[in-house]
Structure 1
Amino acid sequence: MLDRRSFLGSAAAASIAQPLGAQALRGVPLPADDLYDTDEDGYWKALRAQFLIPADVVNLNVGTVGSSPRPVLKAIFDGFEQTEQMTQPGSEEYPIWGYGSWDQYRQPFADFAGARVEQMAILRNCTEANSYVANGFDMKAGDEVLMSDEEHGSGQMPWLLRSRRYGVVVKTFAMPRPPKDAAEILNRINDAITPRTRIIFVSHISTATGVVLPAKEITALARSKGIVSAFDGAHAPGMININLNELGCDLYTGSMHKWLFAPKGTGFLYLRDKGVMDRLWHTTVTGGYDDPARMADRYMQIGSSCIPTLMGLNVAIGFANSIGMDRIERRNRMLADYIHGEMMKRGAESWTSPDPALRGAIATVNVPPVQRMELQDWLWTNHKVRIRGGAPSKLRLATPYFLSRADIDRFLDLFDQFRKMKGA
């Protein structure tokens, strides 16, 4: 039972949430496609209005989490309204996900990512998918997995757990900081391979530095030596064009809630062919997991989940397709190149490659003696600008397409102000 204070707190929360929900459901027209040709800045400004992020907030941290635009939110809200009526036509149909193949949600993302539907499992996040990969292969004590020293915890920790339990060796190579070209990365991987290397597991785009690794070439190197190739693609979908079958890798994991702006709780596992699927043991199982005819669908048999989230995912894919991934990638890269160049003028040390081909929409710079956490808190608390990075002085600056140069200039001016204030 709620006491008066709890009730008033709940009522206050409802009064705050209600206008936001109404605003999200209220349609804001998408920009006409021909506006891009006549007024490109106006086109991106009109797309900015699709996001609920207040006009005075600058989000340079899409690398952690994106913001779903209005059409995606509407699809989620409508999905809950539809499914929670419990009027599904079949007597065994319910608003949960866990036993069907749900091709209507797998197919759009498979098309978007350059895969076939039978190769794609939609999961809840990249961490879950990475755990499937780390837990799935038969390996003996002393067998090695090779990864970079820039892997995210959700890619690294599943392997470290397996190492502690079963003696699998986690071997790392040092990423060049920054890499001058793709060959420098490939050479370091090649030099770290031993006769005991069974899997190469690396990020497609480094979460630490934003470097876009040469995935196709890494895959070819692995295949030439009979090694499984697996990529953590948490940052790739929605940031750059991806075609998984063209890459040729054996496995690829990722998230849709960052750069694709899909609902939180959407991730995926791609498996190249039946030979890979037949070798990968499951981590979470329920009925249907052991039917080989179901292909990648077997890895989605994880029990109940959330259909409205998948409805939102489909709309997020349609939203990106309506803009065009070529436009999105070009815009993302242009903004990253701009902020990177401006930080170089300010004496920053680049941890992102000087080669624009190895940089997507994340520019990472080192700015000693500025303390990253102090700057991060000051920017957000006082000026509503979000950044992220690492101790002590690393800044990771993510540039989604809806940002303007004025947004970036605002951050740059504040960075200059902070340095002056600290006498740095």
Structure 2
Amino acid sequence: MIEQTKCNAILQKEAESFRNTSRRTFIKRLAGGTAVIAAAPYISCGKAGDSFEALKESAGALSTGNIGDEAFWREVKKQFIIDKKLIVMNAANLSPSPVPVMEILFELTRDVDRDASSQNRSKFSTLRQQTREAVAAYIGADPEEVAIVRNTSEGNNMVINGLSLNKGDEVVIWDQNHPTLNVAWDVRAERYGFTVKKVGTPLKPQTAEDLVEPFRDAITNRTKVLAFSDISNITGVRLPENELCAMARDAGIITVIDGAQSIGAMNLNMHDIGCDFYTCSSHKWMMGPREAGILYVKKEHITDLYPSIVGVGWEGAIGSGTARKFETLGQQANERIAAFGKTVEFLDAIGKDRIEARILSIAAALRDGISKRVPGVEFYNPQNREMSGGIVKFASPEIDLSDAGSTLYETYGIVCSVHGGNFPGIRLSTHIYNTMEEIEKATEAAAGLV
């Protein structure tokens, strides 16, 4: 009750602050990372612990190449309000957001509900552009190449339905693609008559060439598009995106990459990869708000890609000559787009290289622990860090998958996914809010299923 009283008092105080803050001041404070509630010590309803400012100081004190010790990562974990009884290892599906992102989202939601006028909401044009610029810098793109969409699924379908394809053309895809970069191609092919060729890769690839060769063999002079997931959501295998894009580019083939399992976990640069289109969501590895995502469109394709949705603001968007033409999606929750910008600030504060190193390190520790504790265990993704991300997908003949998910959650507090189908097994997705202590507990939980 005392904590709730404190929380209510803060909210009441900040509501009064809203009423006395001009829109111009509000935007400056938000852009500077000092928005009212987000800058306050986290005596919040979530009991998040240390402030974001303190975390930024700790991260800034680390030298380049220093991944940070366990004390640092415990400080990172304090930025989340995860139930202490749970160990969340489900980033491949949905990650919790850190408190700085939550508070910006809540603050802006309250602000709009306090004053829903177009005058008050006019600030979101500025905030959207700030988010676009932050996202572009984060993924190694130019701002004009970035459209803020609702999620990876929407971005994928915009590309699939916006490209010009005809009868006789071929689209080559990975058979491990997410349905929105797999089934969605089949649906369009039914209508327009082009061919979709699904490529399988070895179950236990040893080298990058093992993953490139099947695609090379599938390509013909009729192939117009190569579409693949950067990291498979069902096995955790990571494809060599740079090599695949270079191969496609040499053959005059357009590349479409689903990066839902990469951005936020891996340090990637769109211009270095050399892809034509790239999509991702905020709510997975980026740990951002739900229903915010990225559609990257290489500059030379902005004009040629037809929009799937045309709404209010179309004339101005098309006139800009930028990827904004894919953003006229009707009324949106602009507060989540602004919070998306705070997400990037949070990731940048810790550091992309540091995040990637931490995720790969604890994923390797988890894999190592499970391999020692679970008899007959088989992993779908290789131990090679170049061919894996934060996903650890495994199965054992000693484990009954039919109730593994409920047992892991109800008995051990492990939040994860269990799959059937062609790649049956348990998927654990490690992230920066996981500690080494949790890795050990997850290992014990896996052993407890036997």
Which residue matches 1:342? Answer: 369
Q: Which residue of 1 aligns with 2:39?
A: none
Tell me the residue number matched to 1:109: 135
> Per the alignment, in what secondary structure is the counterpart of residue 372 of structure 1?
coil
Aligned partner of 2:432 in structure 1 is 401
Verify the 8 A CA contact 2:128 2:337 in the aligned structure 1.
no
Q: Percent identity?
A: 26
Deviations 1:118-156 (A, max 9, x none): 000000000000000110111112321111110111221
Gaps of 5+ in 2: 12-43
Q: How far 1:282 moved relative to its partner?
A: 0.8
Matches within 5 A, 1:126-275: 126-273=152-299, 275=300
**What is aligned with 2:328?**
301
1:369-390: CA deviations, max 9, x gaps? 4232411111112221112131
The correspondence of residues 266-415 of structure 1 with structure 2, limited to 5 A, is 266-273=292-299, 275-289=300-314, 291-345=318-372, 346=374, 347-391=376-420, 393-415=424-446
- Give SS of 1:66's match: coil
User: How far 1:84 sits from its partner (Å)?
Assistant: 3.0
Report whether the alignment pairs 1:49 with 2:75. Answer: no
C-alpha distance 45-27 of structure 1, shift in aligned 2 (>3 A):
closer
TM-score when normalising by structure 1: 0.88
* Matched-pair contact (CA < 8 Å) for 1:48–1:403: yes
How far residue 47 of structure 1 moved from its aligned partner, in angstroms, is 1.2
Letter in structure 2 aligned against 1:180: Q
TM-score (normalizing by structure 2) = 0.83
CA shift at 1:354, angstroms?
A: 3.0
1:48-127 equivalent positions in 2, closer than 5 A: 48-86=77-115, 94=121, 102-127=128-153
Deviation at 1:293, TM superposition (A): 3.1
RMSD: 2.6
1:96, 1:40 → 2: CA distance? 40
1:145-202 deviations in whole A, cap 9, x for unaligned?
Answer: 1111101112212212102222222211102212111111111110011222110000
Question: In 2 relative to 1, CA 110–371 (structure 1 residues): closer, same or farther, beyond 3 Å?
Answer: same
Read off the aligned partner of 1:229 and give its amino acid letter: T
Give the Cα separation in 2 of the matches to 1:195 and 1:221.
13
Letter in 2 for 1:161: V
User: Secondary structure at 1:254's aligned position in 2?
Assistant: strand
How big is the shift at 1:288?
Answer: 4.3
Provide the rounded CA distance (Å) in 1 between the counterparts of 2:47 and 2:106.
8
The equivalent residue for 2:45 is: 23
Aligned residue identity for 2:427: R
Match of residue 25 from structure 2: none
Q: Cα–Cα, structure 1 residues 287 and 318, in superposed 2: closer, same or farther, change >3 Å?
A: same
Could you say which residue in structure 1 is the equivalent of 2:19?
none
> How far apart are the structure 2 equivalents of 1:133 and 1:398?
28
Displacement of 1:46: 1.4
Kindly tell me: are residues 201 and 50 of structure 1, through their superposed partners in 2, closer, same or farther at Cα, counting changes over 3 Å? Answer: same
2:338 is aligned with what amino acid?
A: M
SS at match of 1:51: coil
- Structure 1 alignment gaps of length 5 or more: 1-13, 420-424
